Amino acid sequence: MDNDQQTSHCHLTEPAQIGGLLQSLCDRQIPISLRLEDSTLYSASSVLSVDKANGRIVLDASAAPAVNACLARSPLVHVHAQLDKVEVHFVLAGLDDTQLEQDKVFTARFPQRLLHLQRRELYRLSTPLSHWPECEINLGDDAGANPRLRVADIGAGGMALLHALEAVHLPLGQQLPCLLHIPDGPSLEIDIRVCNDRPISTADGRQLRRTGVAFQTLSPAAQKHLSRYIFALDRLRNARRQGKD
């Protein structure tokens, strides 16, 4: 499953939003890469112009004719870029090569959706040591009781878990259902995907693991409760900072 499918809540779907971000890639001459569907073939490119009125873009073609021929035949072309260190990914429904021979460019329709991991998705807040949330993960029938793992930090797009589980229990890329227990709040049913994992040592010498997970499904109600909790954490942190000043 592609990363954009796994983070559907981070997609832009309005044509005006998509056109605005594509225009930013064009104006700032951000390098992009083109990848064929079900292939490892990549080609460097850039967005040369954006026609918002007609919903079309012009892309720089490769200097290699064989690469251009492959791109022109592909029904789907994946586009990757980074804008201000934030990932941008979208899929084009084919490239039009009618201007390839004369102008050395491809044209294409706007993508229907565009993945842009906004900074609010990457923003994380540490949870209080005295009153942290817990993530109760369903590891399956053969794993025994569902473990409740401490949430070390949390944001709109995911969280970090501290635990003593073996790495085999939370393998990278796996999607798992969990109950997120918010302190003094509800328990939220959320699907998570394991993104990264590393061993750590605590101040008292204990060996733990820190596992980063991304939220996969958030109902409107879960999003509301999660936003309220993050806002409360941010307000508490700001109050403590002001108290120290």
* 220 and 141 belong to one structural domain: yes
The pLDDT score that the predictor gives to residue 4 is 38
Render pLDDT for 11-26 as a digit per residue (tens, 0 to 9). 678 888 889 889 999 9
The pLDDT score that the predictor gives to residue 117 is 58
* 89 and 150 belong to one structural domain: no
Name the E strands within 10-104: 11-12, 32-36, 42-45, 47-51, 56-60, 77-83, 86-92
* 146 and 190 belong to one structural domain: yes
Angstrom CA distances, 19 to 127, 202, 223, stand at: 37, 47, 27
- The last residue of one of the domains, among 117, 141, 169, is 117
Distance CA 206, CA 204 (A): 6
Supply the CATH number for residue 38's domain: 2.30.110.10
- The last residue of one of the domains, among 96, 117, 138, is 117
Count of the separate structural domains present in the chain: 2
* 139 and 109 belong to one structural domain: no
* 131 and 228 belong to one structural domain: yes
Average pLDDT over residues 54-70: 94
pLDDT band at 120 (very low <50, low <70, confident <90, very high): very low
Domain hosting 14: range is 3-117
The DSSP bridge pattern shows strands 47-51 and 56-60 to be antiparallel
**Total-model pTM:** 0.51
pLDDT at 121 over 60: no
Average pLDDT over residues 202-227: 86
pLDDT at 8 over 50: no
* 238 and 213 belong to one structural domain: yes
pLDDT band at 162 (very low <50, low <70, confident <90, very high): very high
Supply the CATH number for residue 148's domain: 2.40.10.220
* 194 and 213 belong to one structural domain: yes
Q: In this structure, are residues 188 and 227 in contact, taking their beta carbons and an 8 Å threshold?
A: no
Render pLDDT for 172-194 as a digit per residue (tens, 0 to 9). 778 899 999 998 889 999 999 88
pLDDT at 197 over 60: yes
